[in-house]
Amino acid sequence: MKKLITSLALTGLLAALTACSGADDTDQTADSGPVTLKVARDPGLDKGAVAAFDERVAQFEKANPDIDVVPQEYNWTATTFTAQLAGNTLPDVFTVPFTDGRGLIERKQIADISGLVSALPYAGKFSATVTKAGQADDGKMWAVPIAAYGQALHYNRTLFKQAGLDPDKPPATWDELRSAAKQIADTTGKAGYAQLTADNTGGWILTTLDYAFGGRAEKLDGDKATAELDTPQMTEVLRLLKSMRWDDNSMGSNFLYDWGSINQAFAAGQIGMYVSGGGNYGSLVTQNALKPADYGVTVVPLKDSPDAGVLGGGTLATVSAKASEPVKAAAVKWIDFYYLKKLVDQQSAVLDAKTIAASKQPVGVPQLPVFDKATYDKSLKWVAQYVNVPLAQMTPYTDKMFDQPLVTEPSRSTQEVYKILDPVVQSVLTQKDADIADLLKKADAEAQALLDRN
């Protein structure tokens, strides 16, 4: 009872504090002097990386003497973000995944900075595939795309070699992937292929595989969204996973992986292959001590279907809904300086790469362009001398990443639909007699009820 009362009290306190803090931030006027701007900094950075960040802050403050930048540790996770948003404890500038952009804008949970963004010199040059994520219904850009990715198949080159596979020729089809996974599991005793299943990531990766097989999780017809989970493609994906788990026994023994734990297990050499964002190398190295020699990455195999595509996503920079006008202006200046200018301006790109490389953080991890491909290629050339990632081991991915059709994530109630799919994939991997047809039928009905409600 005590715990319950405490949780009730905490929820209420959160609400009360939010209510109290509602009005106080908005009365700052344009001529109220220096502006204090809280900006997001990745948590868990080593000393060098923090110094590099502080150096960038100093450079910004020198160029903008009326803005005092205060770094605040922040990392988006589905479960903590809600509490931070509700409790108004987010920094003034924070990042969210593409999936959250539209919802935050619709519910006015972030500031409308569209006027300030449209004044940026490169405002009209954002790639068409990334622009939508940060736009309101009327086309105004409230949230700024700062990074984009396509899903990739990460693999352990060392385990490939131990299993007698050629690490320079990773699987290009799902049949090859299945047999490689079995070979790794049989030879090394490690998981040949592992799948994310927890904290909504089960749905995220299942949707990725569904796309790769030519399916879609949702269909939009005007305002009406239809769930498309109970489909032949999704069934085929789950059947494949079921066979790999129960017939081949090639998926190891952990079926409750979330993003952090799968990265940890992969970096520790426990997993042969897994699917996740193409830019994962950075966190694998800086947060999980991956040995660069182990690392290989390739594109997610696509089925021979006209609709097969690779799921793409990315990161948006947004500004707190409580920010005053001067803070909003300062925030957009910071977004321009810290996240975007380095993608379009040689001097900024070099300065950024130099400071990051000095702190031994990865420079040159493959990404999808936020602007056009030509600008992206140009920016790679600017920083070429600072690149410190094993590019040769990434060629299976970088050679083909631009040839794959990129498909955006489901746009309605994305995280909630992913959450509905988590137990589906968990059931298939943990219950030998799981009834795929029944699981998908129920998940589809649940998702449809959700889409109708929202």
Partner 1 sequence: MAAEIRPAPLVIRRTEAGRRRTPLSWVRGGGLSTLVFLLPLLVVFGIFSWFPIGRAVLMSFQETNLVTPATFVGLQNFRDVLADPLLWTAVKNTLYFAALALLFGYPVPLLAAVLMSEVRRFKGLYSALAYLPVVIPPVVAVLLWKFFYDASPTGVFNTMLGWVGIGPVAWLQDSGTAMPALVLEATWAAAGGTVIIYLAALTGVSTDLYEAAEIDRASIWRKIWHVTLPQLRGILLITFILQIVGTAQVFLEPFLFTGGGPANSTTTILLLIYNYAFANSLGGAYGSATALSIMLAVVLGLLSALYFRLTRSWSTS
Question: Residue 75, interface with partner 1 (CB under 8 A)?
Answer: no
253 binds partner 1 (CB under 8 A): yes
Give the residue with the Cβ less far from partner 1, 98 or 371: 98
User: Which of 39, 96, 141, 284 lies at the binding interface for partner 1 (CB under 8 A)?
Assistant: 96
Taking the least distance from each CB to partner 1, the nearer of 76 and 386 is 76
Contacting partner 1 (CB under 8 A), which of 26, 75, 80, 243? 80
Q: Binding to partner 1 by residue 392, rule CB under 8 A? A: no
Neighbours of 403 (CB within 10 A): 9
Size of the site for partner 1 (CB under 8 A): 56
How buried is 304 (Cβ within 10 angstroms: 0-12 exposed, 13-18 middle, 19+ buried)?
exposed
SS3 content of the chain, % helix, strand, coil (to 5): 50, 15, 35
CA distance 392 to 400: 14
Candidate list 91, 252, 326, 396; residue touching partner 1; CB under 8 A: 252
Q: Alpha-carbon distance 136 to 109, whole Å?
A: 12
Please report where in the chains the tokens 């023994």 appear, as a residue. 253
Q: How far apart are CA 418 and CA 26, in angstroms?
A: 36
Name the pairing type of β-strands 35-41 and 67-73.
parallel
CA distances from 407 to 65, 128, 311, 342, 418 (A): 43, 12, 5, 26, 16
Output the six-digit token pair for 340.
């975007």
Integer Cα distance of 450 and 9 in angstroms: 29
User: Binding of partner 1 at residue 12 (CB under 8 A)?
Assistant: yes
Contact between 11 and partner 1 per CB under 8 A: yes
Phi, psi of 272 (to 5 degrees): -75, -50
Taking CB under 8 A as the rule, which mask of x and - marks residues 164-203 in contact with partner 1? ---------------------------------xxxx---
Which residue from 32, 173, 305, 431 is in contact with partner 1, where contact means CB under 8 A?
Answer: 431
> Within positions 103 to 162, which residues make up the interface with partner 1, using CB under 8 A?
103-104, 107-109
Contacts of 255 (CB under 8 A, 6+ apart): 195, 197, 245, 426, 429, 430
Between 43 and 405, whose beta carbon lies closer to partner 1?
A: 43
Instruction: Single out the residue of 45, 50, 51, 78 in contact with partner 1 (rule: CB under 8 A).
Output: 78
Q: Are 321 and 108 in contact (CB under 8 A)?
A: yes
CB of 239 to partner 1, least distance (A): 17
Which one, 16 or 384, has the nearer CB to partner 1?
A: 16
DSSP H or E segment with residue 325 = helix 325-334
The answer to whether 437 contacts partner 1 (rule: CB under 8 A) is no
String of b and e for 127-143 (b: at least 16 CB within 10 Å)?
A: bebbbbbbbbeeeebbb
Is the CB of 254 or the CB of 398 nearer to partner 1? 254
Grouping H, G, I as helix, E, B as strand and the rest as coil, residue 316 is strand
Distance (Å) of CA 449 to CA 19, 61, 226:
31, 50, 10
Q: Does 92 bind partner 1 (CB under 8 A)?
A: no
Between residues 135 and 348, which has the closer beta carbon with respect to partner 1? 135
Binding flag, residue 384, partner 1 (CB under 8 A) = no
Q: Is 211 in the site for partner 1 (CB under 8 A)?
A: no
Of the candidate residues 67, 69, 85, 302, the single one contacting partner 1 (CB under 8 A): 85
Q: Supply the minimum distance, in Å, between the C-beta of residue 100 and partner 1.
A: 6
Least gap, CB of 117 to partner 1 (angstroms): 21
State which of residues 50, 51, 268, 321 lies at the interface with partner 1 (CB under 8 A): 321
CB of 257 to partner 1, least distance (A): 10
| Binding of partner 1 by 10 (CB under 8 A) | yes
Chain contacts with partner 1 (rule: CB under 8 A): 1, 3-5, 7-16, 18, 76, 78-83, 85-88, 96, 100, 103-104, 107-109, 197-200, 252-256, 258, 321, 415-416, 419, 422-423, 426-427, 429-431, 434, 446
